[in-house]
Structure 1
Amino acid sequence: MDVVSVNKFRDNLKSLVEQVITRHEPLKVTRRAGEAFVVMSADDWEREQETLHVLQNQDLMQQIAASLDTHSKGKGYSPDDEQMNEITGI
């Protein structure tokens, strides 16, 4: 994560915000007193929130673990060609 001072952030607001959005990388902005804040795109923030929701949900994590176990043993669901065409849009 890149780090800039609040003064540099203020002076280069437009380009730094564009950088955050296009690179999908947050930017840490520091203040003289040592306090800091992070700037990130709304899309990236929403993805982070979704990830946190899944990670904090014990039932979902158990389902993911069970699915991974089934997949690694080669015993998971395998769609037929017609279903694969529908899934991939071919």
Structure 2
Amino acid sequence: MITVDVKEASEKLPALVENTITKHEPVLISGTNSNAILMAESDWRAMNETLHLLSAPGMRDTIQKGLSENLQSTSRKLNW
């Protein structure tokens, strides 16, 4: 992860944003009292979706079960 101070981030913001979007590498912006993270919107959305799914009771187990299921043995017809 790249780390820059607030002044440097301010001076290089367009380049930092472009690099963050294309390389999907967050940037730690260090401030006097606290820090912030610059990250691509798509990464932020994916992270929040993951957190949302994993916060649902039983969802983690359901996802793991689905990932280990043999696709040849699944039904192609939906029974809704």
**RMSD value, Cα:** 1.9
Q: TM-score, normalised by structure 1?
A: 0.70
Partner of 2:12: 12
Residue 25 of structure 1 and its aligned partner are, at CA, apart by: 1.3
User: Secondary structure of the residue that 1:25 maps to in structure 2?
Assistant: coil
Gaps of 5+ in 1: 84-90
Larger helix proportion of the pair = 1
Alpha-carbon shift at residue 13 of structure 1 (Å):
0.8
| 5+ residue gaps, structure 2 | none
TM value normalised by structure 2: 0.78
Higher relative contact order (CA 8 A, sep 6+): 2
Larger-gyration structure (1/2)? 1
The amino acid across from 1:32 in the alignment is: T
Aligned residues: percent identity?
A: 30
How many pairs does the alignment contain? 74
